[in-house]
Structure 1
Amino acid sequence: MTKTPPQRLLTLAQWSNSVGDGAYYTTSALYFTQIAGLTPARVGLGLTIGWAVGSLAGLPLGRLADRRGPRGTAVLLALATGSAVASFTLVRGFVPFVLVACAYAAAQAGLAAARQALLAGLVPAGERTGLLARLQSTLNAGLAVGAGLGGLALHAGTRAAYLAVFAVDAVSFLVCALLLLGLPRAASVPVRPHGGLGVLRDRPYAVVALLNTVLLLRLPLLSLVLPLWITERTGAPAWLVSALFVLNTAAVTVFQVRAVRGVTGLVGATRVLRRAGWVMCAACAVFALSAGTSARVAAGVLVVGAVLQVAAEMGQSAGSWQLSFDLAPADRVGEYQGLFGTGVTVARTLGPLVLTTLLVEWGPPGWLLLAGATLAASYAMGPAARRAAAGREGDAGEPGAPRSAPATRRSEA
C-alpha cells in the first residue's frame, strides 16, 4: 500500500482546521454574549488579551518545535487547541473566559509555527511557497464550508446548536492531530546553541517580520472595517458586505496558487511585494472614492476596490511566505516562523483600533495614509531582505544554511 504524500496530509489537516474555524468564527461572538452571558465589551477585551498572549507565545513554542521536533509539537498543540475550544463551552465568567482565550490563542500561534517548521522539514525548498498557496486556497474553501455550518446554527439560535458548532471545531483539531501524526518525521537538523533572545538577536530578520506586520494590517479590512465603512460612509446596501466576503474567499480559493507562480528566491519575492504594494495603493484610493456616493455608484466602486484588494493580498502572501523561509536558518525554522507569525496576531490585535480610527473616522485621507504606509513597507522589504540574506551568507556561506558552531541534535517528539 502506498503512503499518503506529506503534501496531501498537510492539506487535509488544513481543511479540517478551516472547516471548524469557519463555524467557530461565525458563531463565537453571539455564543459568548447570548449563551455564556458575557458583555460585548468583555468579550472584546478578553479576546484582545488572549491574542496578545498568543503573539508572545508563538516564538518560544516555535523554538520548542525546533528542539523537540515539529511533528510531535504540532500534534500536541493541535490537541491543546481542541481542548481550549471545548473548554469555551464551560465558561461562565470573565476570568475563566480570559484564561481559556489565552490558552486558545497561544496554542493556535504555536501550532502555526510548528506546522511551518514541519512543512520546511518535509517539503523541498522550491515547493514550499506553492504548497502554502494550496494550503491558503484550502483554508478559504474550508472557512466557507464552516461558515455555512455556522449559519445553520445561527438560524436555529439554540444553545444546543451553538454547542454543536464548538464540538465540530474541537473535533476538527483532533482530526488535524491524527493527520499530522501520520506524517513522517522531519529530517533531524543540527540545532546550534544561541542566546536567550534567540531570533530577536537577528535584527535584519526582525525588521522583515515588522514590515510584514505593517502589510498584514489589511487583515481586519474585510471582517470589520469595510462593513463599518459601507454602512457609515457610503450609500451601498448592507448586504454588499456579504458579497464582498464571498468574492474575496472565492478569489483566494481559485487564484492563490496561480499568484505564486514565478515567486522564487529573494528577487522574485521582493518584486511581487512591490507590485502588490502598488495594487493595494490603488485599492485604497478606490475605496476612498466610494465615500458619499449613491448606492449604485458606491456598490460598483467597492467591488472594484475589493478585486484590487484581494489581488494585493495574494501577492503579499506569496512574497512574504517565500521570504519567511528563505531567510530562516535551517535548524531554527520553527523559532523564526514563530516570530514571523506574530505579525498575524499583532495585526488582528491592533488592526481593528488603528484601522477604524484611520479609515472610518478620518475617511478618505485615512485611506491615503494606509496606501502610503503599505507602499513604503513593500519597498522597504527589498533592502531589508537583502541585508538579512547577506548576514546569513556571512555566517554560513548561503542563505538559510546553519552557521558553523557546536550543535546538538534535534530529537523528534
Structure 2
Amino acid sequence: MRKLLPAPGPLRPLALATLLSRVGNGLLMTISVLYFTRVVGLSIAQVGLGLTVAGLFGLLASIPFGHLADRRGPRTLFVVLSLLMSATAVLYIVIGTFWQFLAVATVVVVLDRGSNAVRFALIAGVVQGPERVGARAYLRSMTNIGVTAGAGLGAIALSFGTATSYRLMFGLYVVLGVIAALVVLAVPRVAPQPRTDGPVWIALRDRGYLAVGALNAAISIHYSVIDVAIPLWVVEHTDAPHWAAAVPLIVNAAGVAVLQVRASRGIVDTTSAARATRTAGLLLLASMVLFAAASAGAALVAVAVLVIAASVQTAGELLQSSGSFLLGFDLALEQAQGQYQGVWNTSTSVSSMVAPSIMALLPLGLGVPGWIVLGGWFALVGVLFVPVVRWASGRRLAVAERG
C-alpha cells in the first residue's frame, strides 16, 4: 500500500484533496445533464448554451486568479475559492429557471477555472524542480481514479432516477468539495512573491511561453477523441457491438491511472519534454489511423482494433501530458508561477471548448479522411514542439540572466 502513496510531505494532502474533489467531479459528469433536463426542466439546447457561456467567462478567470496567487500566496486563496465554489454549487439544488442555471453555472465555472490556476501555483510552490512533473503525474492518476469512482456513485443516482437521488448527489459533491478544501490546509503555506519593477502582466508578454501554450492547446484536442468522437464512431460507423463504445474509455482510464507516473520519469528538462511530445504526436497519428480502420472489419475485428487503437492513443496521451506538466512549469518565471499557470490553464480550456466542434467536423463529419487529417494535425503539432520549445527556452534563459 505504501508504494501507492507519495513520499511524506505536501504531495500527500494534495493527493487526498485531488482524489476527493475528482470523485465529486466524476459524480456530476454522470448526473448533471440529466438532472438539469429531467428535474429542473431545461432543454438540451439551454443546458448547452448555459455551459458554453459559463465556459467563456471561465476563460477570463485563470490569469487574474493566478496573478492574485503570486501576490497573496496560493494555499489560502485556493482554499477560499474551493469553499466558495462548493457554497455556490449548493444553489443547483434549488434552481428552477434557465437564468438561475446560467448565473450559478457561470460563478461555479469561474471559481473552478480560477482555483485550478491557483492549484498549479501551489504545486509549483511546494514541489521543486523535476519533482514537479512526478507530482503532476501522480495527481493526474488520482484524478482518473476519482472520476471513475465518482461515475460509479453517479450511476447509483441514475438507477433510482428520482429528483431526491439527484439532489443527494449534488449534496455529496458539495461535502466532498468542502472536505477537499480543508485538507489542503495541511499543505505548507507558500509565501507571496515580492513585487518587482516592470510590467504587471509579464506572462502575457512572454511570446515564447505563449507560443508553446498555443501548441499545447492545439495538441490537447486529442483528449476529446475518447469521450466525444469514439462513442458515436463505434455506434454509427463500425460493426462492433454498442457496448464496445466504452472499451476505449476503459483502456484509457486504466492506462492513465496505472502508468502516468512511470511515463513521466524520463522527462527531466524542456528538451526531453519536447521530444516526448513529438513522439506523442506520432503515436496519436497512428491511433487515429487505427480508429478509422475499425470501420472496415467485422464485429470481433473492430473490437480488437479499437483496443489496440486506444492503447496507442493512451501511450501518446501519457507522453504528451507528462511533457505538458514540465513545460508549463519550467518555461515560466518562478516569481510569477501563478500568472503563468493561469495562461497554461487558459490554453487547455480553449482546447476543451473547441475540441467537440473539431470532432464533429473531422472524424464524425468526414469519416476516415477526417481521422487521417486529425492524426496529421497531431503529428505536425508534435514535430513543431521541438524547435518552438528550443526557441522559448532560449528566451527564458536570456530573461533569467538579465533578471
TM category (shorter chain) comes to over 0.9
Corresponding position of 1:169: 173
Distance 2:394 2:277 in 1: 19
Alpha-carbon RMSD across the aligned residues, in angstroms, is 1.5
| Greater Cα shift, 268-277 or 190-199 | 190-199
Moved over 4 A (4+): none
Distance 1:371 1:143 in 2: 27
| Partners of 1:219 and 1:347 within 8 A in 2 | no
Corresponding position of 1:20: 24
Residue 85 of structure 1: how far off its partner (Å): 2.0
Q: Going by fraction, where is helix more abundant, 1 or 2?
A: 2
- Pick from 224, 227, 232 the counterpart of residue 228 of structure 1: 232
| Partners of 2:28 and 2:154 within 8 A in 1 | yes
Corresponding position of 2:280: 276
Matched position secondary structure for 1:91: coil
Residue 194 of structure 1: how far off its partner (Å): 4.4
1:33 matched to 2:29? The reply is: no
Distance 2:310 2:257 in 1: 15
Query: What TM-score does the superposition give when structure 2 sets the normalisation length?
Result: 0.95
| Distance 1:114-1:285 versus aligned 2 partners, 3 A rule | same
1:79 matched to 2:97? The reply is: no
Residue 4 of structure 1: how far off its partner (Å): 6.2
1:15 partner amino acid: L
Where do residues 191-206 of structure 1 align in structure 2 (5 Å cutoff)?
191-195=195-199, 197-206=201-210
Distance 2:276 2:201 in 1: 31
Residue 188 of structure 1: how far off its partner (Å): 4.2
Distance 1:90 1:381 in 2: 47
Residue 176 of structure 1: how far off its partner (Å): 1.6
| Partners of 1:66 and 1:191 within 8 A in 2 | no
1:311 matched to 2:315? The reply is: yes
Where do residues 141-290 of structure 1 align in structure 2 (5 Å cutoff)?
141-195=145-199, 197-290=201-294
Q: Could you list the per-position Cα deviations for residues 214-251 of structure 1 after superposition, in whole angstroms to 9, with x for gaps in the alignment? A: 11111222222111111111111111122322221111
Residue 113 of structure 1: how far off its partner (Å): 0.8
| Partners of 2:85 and 2:111 within 8 A in 1 | yes
Corresponding position of 1:409: none
Residue segments in structure 2 that go unaligned for 5+ positions in a row = 1-6
Q: Percent identity?
A: 38
1:130 matched to 2:134? The reply is: yes
Residue 275 of structure 1: how far off its partner (Å): 0.9
| Partners of 1:129 and 1:321 within 8 A in 2 | yes
| Partners of 1:137 and 1:257 within 8 A in 2 | yes
Distance 2:204 2:118 in 1: 18
| Greater Cα shift, 19-28 or 379-388 | 379-388
| Partners of 1:122 and 1:186 within 8 A in 2 | yes
1:237 partner amino acid: P
Residue 291 of structure 1: how far off its partner (Å): 2.0
1:59 partner amino acid: I
| Distance 1:99-1:381 versus aligned 2 partners, 3 A rule | same
Corresponding position of 1:321: 325
Corresponding position of 1:343: 347
Distance 1:47 1:226 in 2: 22
Distance 2:33 2:272 in 1: 40
Residue 293 of structure 1: how far off its partner (Å): 3.1
Q: Provide the aligned length of Structure 1 versus Structure 2.
A: 397
Residue segments in structure 1 that go unaligned for 5+ positions in a row = 398-402, 405-413
Query: What TM-score does the superposition give when structure 1 sets the normalisation length?
Result: 0.93
Residue 292 of structure 1: how far off its partner (Å): 4.4
Residue 189 of structure 1: how far off its partner (Å): 3.2
| Greater Cα shift, 196-205 or 140-149 | 196-205
| Distance 1:64-1:301 versus aligned 2 partners, 3 A rule | same
Q: Could you list the per-position Cα deviations for residues 165-224 of structure 1 after superposition, in whole angstroms to 9, with x for gaps in the alignment? A: 111111111112101122111144334344365422111111111100011111222222
| Partners of 2:22 and 2:147 within 8 A in 1 | yes
1:90 partner amino acid: V
1:395 partner amino acid: V
Matched position secondary structure for 2:12: helix
| Partners of 1:52 and 1:345 within 8 A in 2 | no
- Pick from 382, 386, 403 the counterpart of residue 382 of structure 1: 386
Distance 1:99 1:156 in 2: 28
Residue 288 of structure 1: how far off its partner (Å): 1.1
Distance 1:393 1:106 in 2: 33
Matched position secondary structure for 2:297: coil
- Pick from 355, 360, 372 the counterpart of residue 376 of structure 2: 372
Where do residues 88-103 of structure 1 align in structure 2 (5 Å cutoff)?
88-103=92-107
Distance 1:193 1:300 in 2: 59
